[in-house]
Structure 1
Amino acid sequence: MAIIAQLSDIHLTAGHDGAVDDDSGPVRALRAAVASLLALPARPDAVVLTGDLADGGLPGEYARLHALLSPLPMAVYPMPGNHDDRDALREAFKDHPPVWATGTRPDAPIQYAVDVNGVRLVCCDTKVEGRPHGSMDAERLAWLDETLAAAPDVPTVVATHHPPYQIGIRFIDDMRFTQPETFGEVLSRHPQVVRVMSGHVHRGSVGSLGRTVCTTCPSTYRQLFLDLTRPGRAAVTGEPAGFAVHLVDESGSATTHFVPTGSYRPLMDVE
């Protein structure tokens, strides 16, 4: 059984001096998420960071992110969102071989596959330079197809920043994963993919793409207001921050839990 934790939409922000204030909301929220993750009775085998890790894509933001994640004893796998700068992210995480190995050219996609306790984690890059929406061009889709074909019998989780399904919140759907059907065509050729996990939405949600179950992760910082009207209101709420935990076994069974950050101890035994 692989246990994969997912942190997303951290949005660390640097000031005019390029430094991150350690008393800022995103820093305090990330510290709380890390503490909550470490307090889980069963610690995850790995942590994947599904984008929008830095708010401005500045080197100082990634340097502070790297330091704030240092208490985690397990492998950490970052990937970019629309707010991120690939090269600055790659430089800050150059001690992470899968990430550093993607830097074959300036602004090269950060996408790679790793083994997590018998389960394959495939991190995709959906960033479109200078735009808030997401997409995977022909080159990135070809990479995904080839990567999935290399291990057809291993249960696989695919991670993206932008979710490949409609959320129903106008503000987010305006920044959607464009042409998700081409992404879905690739997945349909590889039935070992048991889950697509994404960020971007600042809420937990469950959807589907073809026969593949897809989920989004709460933000470690701010949650988006659930307004399903049109045109709707783009706003954040006071809902608790959180993260996701995915369980995947060798048969390909997958379960996702959404966990609010905080110190939640057992109140009573129910057996």
Structure 2
Amino acid sequence: MARLLQLSDLHVVAPGQLCSGVLDTCALLRAAIDRLIAMRPALGALDGVLITGDVSDDGSPESYAFARAELDRLGLALLPLPGNHDNRAAFRAGFGDLEIMPEQGLIDWAADVADCRVIGLDTLVEGQGGGRLRAESLDFLAAELDMAGGRPVIVALHHPPLRTRIRFMDAIGLDNVPALEKVLERAPQDVTVLAGHVHRVHLGRVGRHSVMTAPSVCSAFALDLRAKAPVGFLKGPTGCAVIETGPGGTWSVLPLDQAEGPYPF
């Protein structure tokens, strides 16, 4: 069994700046890491941190340096992927020392974590909000699925292969979901697909495989399904997730907002 933290949508900016003129995402990330460190005894042993995109909001080298320093405080193996706000070159420079990081091209990787094969796919299309899986990434996924055997498999990407019905987010979703579904059909085992991008929890399926999206470390989107829903974010709730693989494995939301208690009942 593998146990991973999933962090998503950090949206870090250069220190001293505010994300969207509102959020001090440097302070929010530092507080989140402090809280996770304090919670480690309650969480038990962890094998790594899966980071499903939008590490940076402005793509600046300074934002990646800050995020990397904070993430390293967890003392866990890092498994990062880019999101639509990331800059691929700056992202690669910030995480280039990681064994999984390809030296050039798309940031697709695979790693063994305990008994699980974790496959990361790059959906970033620089200059736009929506995402796409290129043919190279789909071929990479197909080869990795063939090699995974009977082991548990996690496929991680930023843009989720589902629709939230939040229209302004679906407008910048993953634009070739059927291509992903076709590749996943060949998997002999159930695959867990983990994503970010939508800043809240959504559960769905791509083919027969489960899809789960993580909350954001810094903000949220309201579940407003109206055709003319206001476009914008909320300051909370914030959170992350804990994943356990294997038979009986779970995916659990971990709120990062402070709450009083526990009280006896």
Cα root mean square deviation, aligned = 1.8
Query: 1:17-166 to 2 correspondence within 5 Å?
Result: 20-21=15-16, 25-38=24-37, 39-40=39-40, 41=42, 42-99=44-101, 102-104=102-104, 108-166=105-163
Runs of 4+ in 1 over 3 A off after TM superposition: 262-266
Query: 1:84-142 deviations in whole A, cap 9, x for unaligned?
Result: 1111111111221111xx123xxx11111111111111111111122111111212111
Decide whether aligned partners of structure 1 residues 200 and 248 sit closer, same or farther in structure 2, where only a CA change above 3 A counts: same
* Structure 2 Cα separation of the partners of residues 131 and 235 of structure 1: 17
TM-score by length of 1: 0.90
- The equivalent of 2:13 in structure 1 is 13
Amino acid at match of 1:169: I
Matched, 1:201 2:198: yes
Residue of structure 2 equivalent to 1:261: 256
Q: Partner amino acid for 1:32?
A: A
Distance in 1 of aligned mates of 2:45 and 2:228: 41
SS at match of 2:46: coil
Question: What SS is found at the alignment partner of 1:98?
Answer: coil
Q: Which residue of structure 1 lines up, in the alignment, with residue 187 of structure 2?
A: 190
Structure 2 CA distance for aligned equivalents of residues 219 and 89 of structure 1: 19
Structure 2 Cα separation of the partners of residues 144 and 268 of structure 1: 47
Residue in 2 that maps onto 1:233: 230
Gaps of 5+ in 1: 15-19
Amino acid at match of 1:260: P
Q: CA deviation at 1:268?
A: 4.5
1:165 maps to amino acid: L
Amino acid of the residue matched to residue 151 of structure 2? Answer: V
Residue 151 of structure 1 aligns to which amino acid in structure 2? A
| 1:263 Cα deviation from its structure 2 partner | 4.8
Partner deviation per Cα, 1:16-70 (whole Å, 9 max, x = no partner) = xxxx129962112112222232214114211011101101111111111111112
Separation (CA, whole Å) in 1 of partners of 2:50 and 2:170: 23
Please give the per-residue CA displacement for 1:138-166, whole angstroms capped at 9, x wherever unaligned: 12111110111111211101001000011
- What amino acid maps onto 2:160 in structure 1? P
1:94 partner amino acid: G
User: For the residues of structure 2 that align with 1:196 and 1:174, how far apart are their CA atoms?
Assistant: 20
Is 1:211 the counterpart of 2:208 in the alignment?
Answer: yes
The residue identity in structure 2 corresponding to 1:9 is D
1:17 aligns with: none
Equivalent pairs: percent with the same residue?
A: 36
Q: Decide whether aligned partners of structure 1 residues 267 and 207 sit closer, same or farther in structure 2, where only a CA change above 3 A counts.
A: same
Q: Given that residues 218 and 236 in structure 2 are in contact (C-alpha distance below 8 angstroms), is that contact kept between their aligned partners in structure 1? A: no
